[in-house]
Chains A and B, each alone.
Chain A
């Protein structure tokens, strides 16, 4: 029995969603097990002062207006700090200080894994009374950290390890962020979502500049980015295309003329239309769908239209690299902000090249990439929700995941780097407050009377 169509669709979406889910789940568990509400850890820790609350230190006795104002100020300052640091990093990248940037990333990863991770491990050990002596613990932590640092920018490390460390970094930073006071957290999340929107989409935004710079240079960004790579490289062409095709189906489902062509290469026609409308005539002569046939056709065609083809393939190869995105603009002292950014490679162009049979190395650079900042701030939102109730956690989780799904679908339509924070954070915040204010009394009221439906 042939594999049905259901097996093909959505692989890359799940490939991104599952690490995000794992990250959120672990952060919620950490928040739950280490939250001061349990009787063993007595007094809450004194509030920490960081770049995220430079201006205003929230205390429970303040009035709402004071808290609100202070939280806004904090968020503003934090965003400004991040913007300045990002510009600085872009400047460094512009002047080709890639080595410095990479080492800086390594150092910060070392710092995060060693200190933040270390402190989380320590409190775990204390909380669960794990019998470990300090020397063993130190050696283990050191090894863990060193492997993490090495896995960042070297190609020799299995991708699974690298993904694991990315998720671990996200978890540590997020768990640390949940220690911020409540109002500041919300203001910060909203402010970052807005900043993300501006930085990625507005002309002259730092992240947009960074992406374009990397495009024009054909190199990978020295950035902390999660890559959902293995699924693509293992299963090859079909999966890389599926999201693409599905979205293609959405966009063209209304147009009847496309349907009547009734050949297997509708999608190809469509993509060619976008690339160069002049290809239509030639494209219509392609009717097979077998890859082998395709390739032959492609060769023929490239002979026919050599000039155009060449021009186009050069164009696509440059944009192929451009897909590497994400980035990270962070500052250790000012905590870590990792560039909230999603990017998908131009699957269409990648596909073209693959059919041309020229690309093997490039296949490995495909796959959706998600900036580590998105991991962090999704998890911060969920972790903050976990401090209220489990109900809000579920609602926020669903909202964030659906926001991520929307962003990914948008990505395959727009084919450019997109900010991943705004939709998800907006949905998450809305659902949090709706759940907290509206749903909880309703559900608790009916369920405690044992009434369900």
Chain B
């Protein structure tokens, strides 16, 4: 029974990205490699951040302002890393195009570029879900569950799985938006992504208040849906432009 619960939590957090992986990514080996390398990049960013913050840990769970600084620094570092990732991605695209020329194959289609950015985003999202939700899930397989004081309505594992799902969505689609924004030179999109990430991170701070997760999680999902809608509209626009 508890095993079922543990698997349920894991699937709750990772189910959508798993189906995305199987239906889209797994068919193209190159995309799998992209997912892996982007996951590794996110992991390294996490390790660097953890190394910087190691001296100040553990933070007292009564004061909230250190957490604000922590989340601010973490998000700004990761957004900086996204620009780096874009530069690498740009070079990779050129390389692939040169390679395609040599094989007398068509160059990368627009959809291919979007797939690569989707895979990159999925890697980030997966890494988030794996390290913030899945790795804490081990006790959930045992014969007990765990509640945190501040959000006593739901088991901790369930809450973290729900939050992780929102973040997976945000990470996955904001990478598509960001890369497209960089490619088009669209200022709005370039700032949309860090803003969404920052707001989403700040919204989790609401959880710090007692019972705050009742408010925080719907707000978080609002951000996730906003990201998805924006991404969907943008992709539709690009595709129809491309076709005409």
Chain A residues within CB distance 8 Å of chain B: 2-11, 13-14, 238, 245-246, 249-250, 253, 259, 264, 266-267, 289, 389-391, 394-395, 398-399, 401-402, 405, 431, 434-435, 437-439, 441-453
| Chain B: minimal CB distance from A351 (Å) | 13
| Residue from the list A259, A289, A443, A450 in contact with B131, Cβ < 8 A | A443
Q: Is the pair B67, A450 in contact by a Cβ cutoff of 8 Å?
A: no
A2 CA to B75 CA in the complex, in Å? 40
Stretch from B106-114, B181-189, B235-243 contacting the other chain: B106-114
**Complex contact B136–A447 (CB within 8 A):** yes
Query: How large, as a class, is the contact surface on chain B?
Result: 35 or more
Residues of chain B contacted by A253 (CB below 8 angstroms): 94-95, 98
Asked whether, in the complex, the Cβ of A245 is within 8 Å of the Cβ of B43, the reply is: no
Residue interface mask B181-209, A partner, CB < 8 A = 1:
00000000000000001001100110110
Could you say which of B29, B53, B54 contacts A9, with CB atoms under 8 Å apart?
B29
Q: Name 25 interchain pairs, CB-CB below 8 A, sorted by A.
A: A2-B105, A4-B108, A5-B105, A6-B31, A14-B32, A245-B102, A253-B94, A389-B135, A389-B138, A390-B134, A390-B135, A391-B135, A405-B36, A431-B43, A438-B47, A439-B50, A439-B131, A443-B131, A443-B136, A446-B70, A448-B148, A449-B61, A450-B148, A450-B160, A450-B216
A238 surroundings in chain B (CB, below 8 A):
103
Q: Tell me the smallest distance from the CB of B209 to a CB of chain A, in Å.
A: 11
Extra pairs beyond A10-B29, A267-B102, A441-B58 (6, CB < 8 Å)? A4-B112, A7-B30, A11-B29, A264-B101, A390-B135, A453-B167
Q: How distant is A100 from chain B, measured CB to nearest CB, in Å?
A: 40
Please indicate the chain B residues that have their CB under 8 angstroms from the CB of A289 in the complex. 103-104
In the assembled complex, the CB of B108 is this many whole angstroms from the nearest CB of chain A, namely 7
- Asked whether, in the complex, the Cβ of B106 is within 8 Å of the Cβ of A391, the reply is no
Among the listed B40, B46, B213, which residue makes an inter-chain contact with A443, where contact means beta carbons less than 8 Å apart? B46
How long is the Cα–Cα vector from A446 to B208 in the complex, in angstroms? 11
**What is the distance, in angstroms, from B116's C-beta to the closest C-beta of chain A?**
8
Q: Are A453 and B201 in contact (CB under 8 A)?
A: yes
A6 engages B131 (CB within 8 Å): no
CA distance A444 to B200 in the complex (A): 19
User: By the criterion CB–CB under 8 Å, are A6 and B50 in contact?
Assistant: no
B5 proximity list for chain A (CB < 8 A): none
Q: How far in angstroms is the closest Cβ of chain B from A432? A: 11
Are A402 and B138 closer than 8 Å at their CB atoms?
Answer: no
Shortest CB distance B123–A (Å): 10
Q: Please determine whether B40 and A398 come into contact, CB atoms closer than 8 angstroms.
A: yes
Interchain CB contact under 8 A, A452 and B208: no
**A435–B51 CA distance with the chains assembled, in angstroms:** 10
In this complex, the member of A3, A395, A399 whose beta carbon has the largest number of chain B beta carbons within 10 angstroms is A395
Write out the residue numbers on chain A whose beta carbons fall within 8 Å of the beta carbon of B11.
none
Shortest Cβ distance from residue A333 to the other chain B in the assembled complex, whole angstroms: 37
Total inter-chain residue pairs, C-beta < 8 Å:
181
* Binary contact track B110-145/A, C-beta < 8 Å → 1, others 0: 001001100000000000101111111110000000
Contact across chains for B197 and A453 when beta carbons are under 8 A apart: yes
A448 CA to B139 CA, complexed, in Å: 13
Report B-chain residues with C-beta under 8 Å of the C-beta of A452: 128, 132, 160, 163-164, 167, 201, 204
Bound-state CA distance A246–B29 (Å) is 14
Contact yes or no, A450 B150, CB < 8 A: yes
Task: Tell me, rounded to whole Å, the shortest Cβ–Cβ distance linking B78 to chain A.
Answer: 7
Candidates B43, B99, B136; contact of A395 at CB < 8 Å: B43
Q: Are B33 and A446 in contact (CB under 8 A)?
A: no
Contact B105 A405 (CB under 8 A): no
Given known pairs A253-B98, A402-B40, A447-B160, the reply for A4 and B31 (CB within 8 Å) is no
Q: Is the CB–CB distance between B67 and A449 below 8 Å? A: yes
A394 close to B159 (CB less than 8 A): no
**B59 contacts chain A at the CB level, 8 A cutoff:** yes
Q: Kindly identify, within residues 154 to 174 of chain B, every residue whose CB is under 8 Å from any CB belonging to chain A.
A: 156, 159-160, 163-164, 167
Contacts of B216 in A (CB 8 A): 450
B57 at the interface (CB under 8 A from A): yes
Report Cα–Cα, A11/B32, bound state, in Å. 10
User: B107 to chain A: closest CB distance in Å?
Assistant: 8
Chain B residues with Cβ below 8 Å from A438 are 47, 50-51, 54
User: Considering only CB atoms, which chain B residue lies closest to A239 in the complex?
Assistant: B29
Task: Check if B228 is an interface residue, CB within 8 A of chain A.
Answer: no
B100 close to A451 (CB less than 8 A)? no
Residues of chain A within 8 A (CB-CB) of B208 are 449-451
- Which residues from chain A contact B109 at a C-beta distance below 8 Å? 4
A78 to chain B, nearest CB (A): 31
Q: Are B151 and A402 in contact (CB under 8 A)?
A: no
Most chain B CB atoms below 10 A, which of A13, A264, A451? A451
On whether the beta carbons of B99 and A5 are closer than 8 Å, the reply is: yes
Within 8 A of A (CB), among B4-62: 27-33, 36-37, 39-40, 43, 46-47, 49-51, 53-54, 57-59, 61
Q: Does B207 lie within 8 Å of A445, measured CB to CB?
A: no
